């Protein structure tokens, strides 16, 4: 019981340190600026790009004889086409959705590196400042130390995102038009998933690194691998897989990368999974049954547990 009380005290202490950090304040301002900028950009884009979006066969622009085959079988769904000059309410709603879509893509790039750098530097600072050596004298398990870092970092980043996006959201609701709940909820959950997962992955980098420069290098390497290089790895590996196993192999490799998993999940939640093509109708089927969300949540939980256990083992070896 005393150990759990100590864990609560450690979480509160770490949370206070992070909330006082100038880095976190700068990131909060950055999130606020991005949300406001992209929202107004989304509204301005309506003036130059009228609201007329079609999906499926009609968007091809050519006559295609589909016979008696139902286009929905290939993941193509009929959508309502909004004409030009649809009105201020419709334009504001579409502008907001465009802004959210751009923020989603940007979050997939920015939040991982922010979480990796903050989490790794938090542990490295304790190593350089002697606080970790002091912690060893209390004969507390390293797992409590890592849990306090993980929980505090996740909460601080979620608070930062909540404040910045919350202020913009309140402003939009007061002076703008109502937004679509599906877009908003998907966007918020996407950010929460990114924060929690990469806060856990930052523990591994922090436990391995000895200096801040080493931690920064490893964080940038992990970020570039997961965000940019991983797609090329999939394309290279999938060519070596027998044709009968290609689909399952692609799905497994997507689940192994949290960024790709979150991207696929968000696309399915926004009912845009037709972009994957008819070969990946299984994603639409999993999404309709709720299986996709369950599988992704299970893989996320495993990633977090593995990251904490690996970090704990590395800390023991280096201790």
Domain residue extents for the chain? 2-51+86-318
Going residue by residue through the chain, which has 319 residues, state the pLDDT in tens, using 9 for 90 and above. 577 788 888 889 898 888 888 888 888 888 888 877 777 776 666 556 555 444 444 444 444 455 555 555 444 555 544 444 444 545 555 556 667 777 888 889 999 999 999 999 999 999 988 888 888 888 788 999 999 999 999 999 999 888 887 777 676 666 655 555 667 788 889 999 999 999 999 999 999 999 999 999 999 999 999 999 998 888 888 888 888 888 888 899 999 999 999 999 988 888 777 777 777 888 888 888 889 999 999 999 999 999 999 999 999 887 6
Neighbours of 289 (CB within 10 A): 10
Distances (CA, A) of 214 to 170, 218, 280: 41, 6, 40
Q: Are 56 and 73 in contact (CB under 8 A)?
A: no
Token duo for residue 294: 């369950």
Token duo for residue 165: 């996006």
The burial class, CB within 10 Å (0-12 / 13-18 / 19+), for 212 is middle
Q: Are 251 and 279 in contact (CB under 8 A)?
A: no
If we measure between CA atoms, which residue out of 261, 127, 286 comes closest to residue 196? 261
* The predicted structure's pLDDT at residue 53: 45
Q: How far, in Å, CA of 306 to CA of 195, rounded?
A: 16
Q: Are 142 and 133 in contact (CB under 8 A)?
A: no
If we measure between CA atoms, which residue out of 52, 44, 189, 202 comes closest to residue 117? 202
* Residue in the block written with tokens 């002697």: 130
Q: Are 193 and 262 in contact (CB under 8 A)?
A: yes
Q: What is the DSSP letter of 279?
A: G
Predicted TM-score (pTM) of this structure: 0.81
Torsion angle of alpha carbons 279, 283, 288, 292, nearest 10°?
A: 170
Q: Are 15 and 156 in contact (CB under 8 A)?
A: yes
If we measure between CA atoms, which residue out of 209, 223, 227 comes closest to residue 114? 223
Q: How long, in residues, is the chain?
A: 319
Alpha helices in the chain (DSSP H): 2-19, 22-48, 88-129, 131-136, 142-175, 181-208, 212-224, 230-238, 246-256, 258-269, 281-289, 291-318
Token duo for residue 97: 């959705």
Q: How far, in Å, CA of 19 to CA of 247, rounded?
A: 44
């Amino acid at each position: 019981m005393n150990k759990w009380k100590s864990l609560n005290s450690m979480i509160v202490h770490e949370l206070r340190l992070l909330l006082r950090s100038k880095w976190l304040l700068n990131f909060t301002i950055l999130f606020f600026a991005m949300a406001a900028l992209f929202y107004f950009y989304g509204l301005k884009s309506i003036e130059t790009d009228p609201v007329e979006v079609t999906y499926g066969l009609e968007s091809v622009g050519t006559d295609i004889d589909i016979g008696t085959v139902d286009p929905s079988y290939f993941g193509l769904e009929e959508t309502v086409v909004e004409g030009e000059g649809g009105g201020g309410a419709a334009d504001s709603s579409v502008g907001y959705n465009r802004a959210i879509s751009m923020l989603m893509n940007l979050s997939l790039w920015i939040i991982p590196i922010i979480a990796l750098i903050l989490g790794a530097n938090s542990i490295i600072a304790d190593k350089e400042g002697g606080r970790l050596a002091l912690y060893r004298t209390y004969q507390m398990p390293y797992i409590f130390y890592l849990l306090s870092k993980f929980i505090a970092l996740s909460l601080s980043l979620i608070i930062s995102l909540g404040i910045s996006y919350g202020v913009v959201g309140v402003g939009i609701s007061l002076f703008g038009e109502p937004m679509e709940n599906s877009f908003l909820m998907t966007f918020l959950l996407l950010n929460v998933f990114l924060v929690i997962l990469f806060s856990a992955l930052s523990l591994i980098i922090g436990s391995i690194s000895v200096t801040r420069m080493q931690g920064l290098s490893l964080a940038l390497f992990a970020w570039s691998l997961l965000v940019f290089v991983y797609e090329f790895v999939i394309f290279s590996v999938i060519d070596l897989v027998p044709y009968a196993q290609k689909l399952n192999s692609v799905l497994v490799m997507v689940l192994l990368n949290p960024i790709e998993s979150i991207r696929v999940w968000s696309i399915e939640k926004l009912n845009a999974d037709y972009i994957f093509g008819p070969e990946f109708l299984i994603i639409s089927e999993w999404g309709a049954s709720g299986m996709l969300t369950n599988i992704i949540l299970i893989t996320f939980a495993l990633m977090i547990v593995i990251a904490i256990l690996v970090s704990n083992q590395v800390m023991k070896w280096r201790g």
